[in-house]
Structure 1
C-alpha cells in the first residue's frame, strides 16, 4: 500500500521523505491556506523534491473552469495530479483530463456508486473519505471493501486512495481491505510507530546498553 501524506507543511513532508517512506502527497485549498503562501508556489516546492503523485485541487465547480485550472496546475510538474470533486461537472472534467493523459484524483467520495462513476470516467485515483462517513454514523471502512470488490469485478485500474484517516486502526483496516494507497496527516503518521511495549523495550535496551563497552 502506497503511503501519502495529507499536508502542505514542507517541514513535515521532508521528515517523512527523508525516511524513504513517502510515496506521494495530497493537498487541498484548506490545507494550503493555513500556510499563508501562494497556492501554486507551494505545489511547485513540494514537486521539487517529491517525485511521486502530488494532488492539487481545482477551485472551480464548473467543468470548463476546472479544465482551465487543471491544465495550469498540470504544467507545474509532471507528477501533479489534478484533484476534482465528485460532482457531475467534475466527472466531465475528469473525462477531458483522461483524454489528455493527465492524472486525476476524484475526491469527496462517499458511496460505491460514486466510485464506479469515477472509474468509468478514467480517474487515476478515487478518494473515499472514511473518517467523515464514520462521523455521521456510516461504516467508512465497508466502503473501501465495496469499492475494491466492484473494481476487481470489472478490472478498473483506478486506484483506491483511502482518505480522511483519523487513527492507526483506520490505517491498518484500509490495508486489510485492499486500498491501493492511503493518505494521512502527519500526526497519524507519528502514531504508527507508537506502542507501549516498544517504548518499554527501548527504555530497557538503553539502560542495559549503559553497562556495555563498545
Structure 2
C-alpha cells in the first residue's frame, strides 16, 4: 500500500512524513495556489522535506504535447528525477502522455472520472491514473465503483498501470476504495488522523498506563530503566 499526501503545505508534509509511511506528495494547480508562494522554492522545499526517495507529482497546465514535455523537463531540472508529471485526461492529454513516456517520464493521468478514460490513459502510457472519488460522489455518482471497475478493467486487459485514488473527503471513502482493491491513494493532510485515531485505542492506552502505574508508579514509564536495573 502506498499513501501520498495531497497537499503543498510544507508544515503538514513535514509532520506527516515524520509519523506516517508516506510514499510522496501530489500537487495540482489548485493545491499550489493554496500555498500562495513561488513555485520553484516551494517544490524545492518539499523535496528537501521528503528526500530523494519519495516521489513528487507535479501537474502541467500546457495544452500542446511539446509544451507539456518542456514543462516536465523544467520540473526535472528543478527537483530531480523522482517525479511524476500529471496530465489531465483529455484527447490532447493522451498525446502528451505518450510523448512523456517516450522521453522516460513517469506519467499520471489526472481528472479521471470514468474507467474508459483510465483505460485510454493507461494505454497511452500513463503509469498512474487518478480517479476523483469525492467529486464523483458529489454529483450522485459512485467514485469507489469507478475505482473498482478501473482496477477490474486493468486486470482483464493485463495493464500494469496503478490506480491512484484521489479526491477524498472522509476516511470511509478511503477505506471503501481500498476494499475495492486500490493499493495507492493520495489523501489530504486532515484525513490522516481520521485513519489512525480511534476512541477505543485511547481507552486501551489509558488502561495500560493505569495498570502500569499501580505496579511501578506514575513516574516510571521506561521499560529500559526497569530492565537495566534488574541486570545490575
TM-score normalised by L of structure 1: 0.94
* Other-structure match for 1:200: 203
Match of 1:115 among 106, 118, 122: 118
| Structure with greater Cα Rg | 2
In 2: Cα distance, 1:86 partner to 1:180 partner = 21
Task: Give the TM-score taking structure 2 as reference length.
Answer: 0.87
- Output the CA distance in 2 between the equivalents of 1:81 and 1:75: 13
Alignment deviations for residues 157-195 of structure 1 (CA, whole Å, 9 cap, x no partner): 111000001111112111121113100011101111122
Q: How many residues align?
A: 214
- When the two chains are superposed, the root-mean-square deviation of aligned CA atoms in Å is 1.5
5+ residue gaps in structure 2?
Answer: 221-232
- The match for 1:163 is 166
Contact in 2 for aligned 1:74/1:80 (Cα 8 Å): yes
Alignment of 1:1-214 (within 5 A): 1-19=1-19, 21-50=21-50, 51-76=53-78, 77-213=80-216, 214=220
Q: CA deviation at 1:20?
A: 5.1
Post-superposition offset of 1:80 = 1.4
Instruction: Say whether the 8 Å CA contact 2:13–2:49 is kept in structure 1.
Output: no
* Residues in 2 aligned to 1:170 and 1:185: alpha-carbon distance in whole angstroms: 12
After TM superposition, the runs of 4+ consecutive aligned structure 1 residues lying more than 4 A away are none
SS class of match (1:83):
strand
What displacement does 1:2 show? 0.5
Contact 1:74 1:102 in 2 (8 A): no
Q: Quick one: distance in 2 between partners of 1:48 and 1:88?
A: 35
Structure 1 residue ranges without an equivalent (≥5)? none
